[in-house]
A and B are shown apart, each in its own frame.
Chain A
Amino acid sequence: MSSLSLGSRTWISTVFRLVLAAVWLYAGGVKLFQPGGAREAIIAYRIFPASWVDFLGWALPAIEVGLGALLLIGLFTRIAAIASALLFTAFIIGISSVWIRGYSIDCGCFGGGGDITESGKTWRYTSELLRDALFTGMACWLAWWPHTKFALDRIPDDASAATPVPAEIA
Chain B
Amino acid sequence: MSAKESAKSTREKAAAARAEAEAEQKRRDRTVRIIGGLAVLAVIGAIFGAVIWNNKKTASANDVVADASVPKGANTSTGDYPWAYPVNRAGTKPTLAIWEDFQCPTCGAVEKANGKTIEQLASDGKINLIWRPTAFIDEKTSSSAGPNPKSSLRATAAWGCAIDAGKGPEYHNTVFANQPANEGDGWSQQQLIDFGTTAGITGDAQATFKTCVENDTYHAWANNSYQTFIKDAVPGTPTAYLNGKEVTLDVLGDPTKLTKAVADATK
CB pair A109–B246 under 8 Å, yes or no, is no
Q: Which residues of B contact A46 (CB under 8 A)?
A: 235, 246
C-alpha spacing A103/B238, complex, angstroms? 11
Knowing A62-B48, A75-B37, A107-B235 touch, does A35 contact B248 (C-beta < 8 A)? no
Are the CB atoms of A107 and B232 closer together than 8 Å? no
Question: Does A110 contact B32, Cβ atoms closer than 8 Å?
Answer: no
Can you list, as one digit per residue, whether each of A9-37 has a CB less than 8 Å from chain B (1) or not (0)? 00000000000000000000000100111
Within 8 A of B (CB), among A112-170: 113-114, 116, 118, 152-154, 159, 163, 165-166, 169
- Shortest B33–chain A CB gap in Å is 6
Q: Chain B 217-239, CB within 8 Å of chain A: the 1/0 string?
A: 00000000000000111111110
* B109 at interface, CB cutoff 8 A: yes
- Choose from A37, A50, A116, A166 the contact partner of B232 (Cβ within 8 Å): A50
Q: Chain B: which residue is nearest A66 at the CB level? A: B44
Q: List 9 A-B pairs, Cβ < 8 Å.
A: A43-B233, A62-B44, A66-B44, A103-B249, A108-B105, A116-B249, A118-B250, A163-B25, A166-B21
Q: Are A166 and B18 in contact (CB under 8 A)?
A: yes
Residues of chain A lying within 8 A (CB to CB) of residue B41? 66
Which chain B residues numbered 52 to 66 have a C-beta less than 8 Å away from chain A?
52, 55, 58-59
A109 and B109 form a contact (CB under 8 A): no
List the A side residues contacting B109 at CB < 8 Å: 114, 116
Cβ-closest chain A residue relative to B40: A69
- Chain B residues near A83: list those with CB within 8 A: none
Q: How far is the CB of A24 from chain B (nearest CB, A)?
A: 12
Question: Which residues of chain A are near B18, meaning CB under 8 Å?
Answer: 165-166
Q: Check A91 for interface membership: any CB of B closer than 8 A.
A: no
B52 vs chain A, min Cβ distance (A): 6
Known: A108-B238, A159-B22. 13 other contacts (CB 8 A): A35-B58, A43-B233, A43-B234, A61-B48, A73-B36, A75-B36, A76-B33, A107-B136, A107-B237, A108-B105, A109-B105, A113-B106, A114-B109
Q: Classify chain A: how many residues form its interface, as a range.
A: 35 or more
Option from A40, A53, A75, A102 in Cβ contact (under 8 Å) with B40: A75
Measured CB to CB, the residues of A under 8 A from B are 32, 35-37, 39-40, 43-44, 46, 49-50, 53, 58, 61-62, 65-66, 69-70, 73, 75-76, 101-104, 106-110, 113-114, 116, 118, 152-154, 159, 163, 165-166, 169
Is B139 located at the chain interface by the 8 A CB criterion? yes
- The distance in angstroms between the C-alpha atoms of A75 and B246, with both chains bound, is 44
Given contacts A43-B234, A109-B104, A154-B25, contact A65 B44 (CB under 8 A): yes
**B140–A110 touching, CB < 8 Å:** yes
